[in-house]
Amino acid sequence: MRKFLCCILILYSLYLSGCVDGTVTTSTKIVVNSPSSLEGYVIAVDPGHGDRDQGTQGRHTGVFEATLNMQVAAALQKQLQDAGVIVVMTRVDDTVIYAQGEGTYKQRDMRQRAATVNENDSDLLISIHMNFFDDGQYGGAQTFYQNGSEKGAKLAQDIQTAIVTSLQGDNTRKPQSGDFYMLRETKCTAVLVECGFLSNATDEANLQEAQYQDKMAQCIVEGVHTYLGIS
């Protein structure tokens, strides 16, 4: 009888602490503490450019950055959702929603994207872009984070490491800090991922392949797992 009462008291204590069957409850979300789960996290995915602003353009094929950003972001969205993440997309096709008020189309676009991220209480933001440089010999993905953000620096490093380890073994690029509107004006930990150079023939070809896009997305997810301490 005494053992039975002890068990009841232990279970009641776990109930009061909000921790039963490996589930931790908070005021904003429920996180299931399984070794490989991202269940309950809210992650915003921002496919850069779109609509009036197509970004840079492939040197050899003419492919628009906005198109590739959307394709990689869609692959990332699927993989995150498969892992249990609630995904917030700042756009889902080539249509852009512009915030009301003053400013250029670009400024209103950026304001609306940041608002979407913040209004959905996102835990992380990953902004997807493609790079370009005059000299076509340079290639490889590179991550960026907002000046002064220690959490952003760690997430950027974890994603960069995953890309180099699993996809681009000869990539020697390091995460870089800077001042970026989307990273500065959003409340969560945020990074920008330049997936490669559209000025580099190899990168440009690879980034148009669905399998390569899936691998790039997988690397980003691996980096997120590492950042959150989930194996």
Q: What pLDDT digit, counting tens, does each position of 121-137 carry?
A: 999 999 999 999 999 99
Q: Report the pLDDT averaged over residues 93-111.
A: 97
Question: What CATH number does the domain containing 202 carry?
Answer: 3.40.630.40
68 pLDDT band (50/70/90 cuts)? very high
pTM of the model: 0.84
SS3 for the chain, per residue?
CHHHHHHHHHHHHHHHHCEECCEEECCCCEEECCCCCCCCCEEEEEECCECCECCCECCCCCCEHHHHHHHHHHHHHHHHHHCCCEEEECCCCCCCCCCCCCCCHHHHHHHHHHHHHHHCCCCEEEEEEEECCCCCCCCCCEEEEECCCHHHHHHHHHHHHHHHHHCCCCCCCCCEEECCHHHHCCCCEEEEEEEEECCCHHHHHHCCCHHHHHHHHHHHHHHHHHHHCCC
222 & 146 share domain: yes
Q: What pLDDT digit, counting tens, does each position of 208-218 carry?
A: 999 999 999 99
119 & 150 share domain: yes
Domain interval for residue 22: 1-29
77 & 150 share domain: yes
184 & 159 share domain: yes
121 & 203 share domain: yes
Q: What pLDDT digit, counting tens, does each position of 9-29 carry?
A: 444 444 444 443 333 322 333
36 pLDDT band (50/70/90 cuts)? low
23 & 41 share domain: no
58 & 160 share domain: yes
Quote the number of domains for the chain: 2
pLDDT value for 231: 66
